[in-house]
Amino acid sequence: MRIYVHDVTGRDGVQNYDFPVSTRSKLTYSRHMAAAGVASIEPGSFVSSKSELHKRFLDNADVLKGLSDLQDPIQYWLAPSLGCYKKCVLAGARSFGLVISVNEDHEKKNKDGASLDEGIRESREIIMAAAMPILFKLSFLFG
């Protein structure tokens, strides 16, 4: 039996702190995950500049550059919208993660008030434009 670990700490973990996490800490953590044999990681997120999380990921380009020598693990950079996907491509990412909401509440919260139909249309555009591996994520918001 094989177990594949996908670590989201570089993206999701950073979102939960009330203080900025240094670029050096992000690089060190990601390299530790690589040394441990983790199959894939999410070192960061290309989020909308309107997002409250935007400031947490201002160093994406530096983190991406600092990990550019790693072939493994696969680095999926979260890009939740077409604009974010374009930033991801310009920064030189080799793969990305795409969140597809499965309910209206999650879509509105995650994508600046967009409807579920708008989000699905935009996701389709991103998929059609993508020239790199995509990690699809289905997300749901309770309550």
User: Is residue 21 very low, low, confident or very high in pLDDT (cuts 50, 70, 90)?
Assistant: very high
Q: What is the Rg, in whole angstroms, of the alpha carbon atoms belonging to the chain?
A: 15
What pLDDT is attached to residue 52?
81
pLDDT at residue 112 tops 90? no
pTM as predicted: 0.85
CB 119 within 8 A of CB 102: no
Going by C-alpha positions, the residue among 90, 86, 77 that lies closest to residue 125 is 86
User: Is residue 75 very low, low, confident or very high in pLDDT (cuts 50, 70, 90)?
Assistant: very high
What pLDDT is attached to residue 143?
61
Going by C-alpha positions, the residue among 64, 116, 121 that lies closest to residue 92 is 64
pLDDT at residue 134 tops 80? yes
Determine the average pLDDT of the residues in 21-32.
95
Q: Who has greater pLDDT, 143 or 26?
A: 26
E-only strand ranges, 8-53:
40-41
Tokens standing for residue 80? 């939740």
